[in-house]
């Protein structure tokens, strides 16, 4: 009876788990924290504000603004140069047209002067012939008068007629010479105006070429900035 009691106590003792050691030496498992409302995923912490911006963000922005300003300035300069070139081309065109008009006027005046000179030359030749004829008739009249010829009066009348014709021819030649002189002066004035217009046109053309070159350069610079 004593032996069976001991065995019962021993089996009762071995079925009870031992108490935990004093001081909390064992591992205590705790439940995980509940997930955030509305989602069952992991909690994402927000990134710091300065994490997405590089350290030289301000410098890059300034450079971008500077580049945009340079681009706008280049485009503005190109437009200004194009407008200036267009204006210079228009002025050069007007100057060329004016020069052409003056050249035509000078050419016309030169032709008129040449015509007047030819007319005056012809009149001078006729006057010279008339003078020579009058001198010849005068000499004949003097010879007939000296001989006492009955034809002396007739010869004198003929000589006077020749002298009148010569005087008329001389007057006509003088008039032609005056007209030729006037035409020559007009032609010279027209030539001077044409020369002046040509000089102005050449100057305008050079200015237009220079403006065109500047406009092309400005356009290339603007295209390069894009």
Per residue in 129-177, pLDDT tens? Answer: 999 999 999 999 998 988 888 888 999 999 999 999 999 999 999 999 9
Backbone angles phi, psi at 136, to 5 degrees: -65, -45
- 3-26, pLDDT tens digit by residue? 344 344 344 444 455 555 554 444
Instruction: With beta carbons less than 8 A apart as the criterion, state whether 116 and 184 touch.
Output: yes
Structural tokens at position 77: 């300069």
**Would you state the pLDDT for residue 108?**
96
- Among 81, 68, 175, residue whose Cα is nearest residue 120: 175
Do 214 and 87 contact (CB within 8 A), yes or no? no
| Cβ–Cβ < 8 Å for 95, 211 | no
- Specify whether the CB–CB gap between 113 and 183 falls below 8 A: yes
Assign domain 58-225 one CATH number from 1.10.3720.10, 3.30.450.30, 1.50.10.10, 1.10.287.620.
1.10.287.620
What's phi and psi for 37, nearest 5 deg?
A: -65, 140
The pLDDT of residue 164 is 96
Please, are residues 183 and 165 in contact by the beta-carbon 8 Å criterion?
no
Tokens of 209: 């070429």
What is the pLDDT, as a whole number, of residue 54?
58
Task: Give the Cβ contact number of residue 88 at 10 Å.
Answer: 21
Long-range Cβ contacts of 196-203 (<8 Å, 24+ apart): 196/102, 197/95, 197/98, 197/99, 197/101, 197/102, 197/103, 198/99, 198/102, 198/103, 200/95, 200/98, 200/99, 201/92, 201/95, 201/96, 201/98, 201/99, 203/95
Look over the chain and give the mean of its residue pLDDT values, rounded to a whole number: 83
pLDDT in tens, 43-97: 555 555 555 555 577 788 888 888 888 889 999 999 999 999 999 999 999 999 9
Tokens 């069952």 sit at which residue? 40
Domain boundaries in the chain? 58-225
CB 87 within 8 A of CB 210: no
Tokens 């912490």 belong to 45
């Amino acid at each position: 009876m004593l032996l069976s009691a001991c065995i019962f106590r021993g089996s009762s003792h071995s079925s009870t788990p031992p108490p935990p050691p004093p001081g909390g030496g064992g591992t205590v498992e705790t439940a995980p924290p509940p997930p955030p409302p509305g989602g069952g995923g992991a909690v994402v912490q927000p990134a710091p504000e300065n994490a997405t911006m590089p350290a030289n963000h301000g410098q890059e922005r300034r450079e971008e603004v500077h580049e945009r300003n340079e681009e706008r300035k280049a485009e503005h300069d190109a437009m200004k140069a194009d407008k200036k070139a267009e204006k210079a081309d228009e002025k050069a065109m007007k100057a060329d047209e004016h020069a052409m008009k003056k050249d035509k006027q000078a050419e016309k005046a030169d032709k008129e002067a040449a015509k007047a000179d030819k007319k005056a030359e012809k009149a001078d030749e006729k006057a010279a012939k008339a003078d020579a004829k009058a001198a010849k008739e005068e000499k004949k009249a003097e010879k007939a008068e000296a001989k006492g010829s009955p034809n002396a009066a007739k010869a004198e009348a003929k000589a006077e007629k020749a002298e009148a014709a010569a005087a008329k021819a001389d007057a006509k030649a003088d008039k032609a010479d005056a007209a030729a002189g006037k035409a020559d002066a007009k032609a010279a004035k027209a030539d001077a105006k044409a020369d002046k217009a040509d000089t102005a046109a050449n100057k305008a053309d050079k200015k237009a070429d220079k403006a065109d070159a500047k406009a092309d350069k400005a356009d290339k610079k603007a295209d390069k900035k894009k």
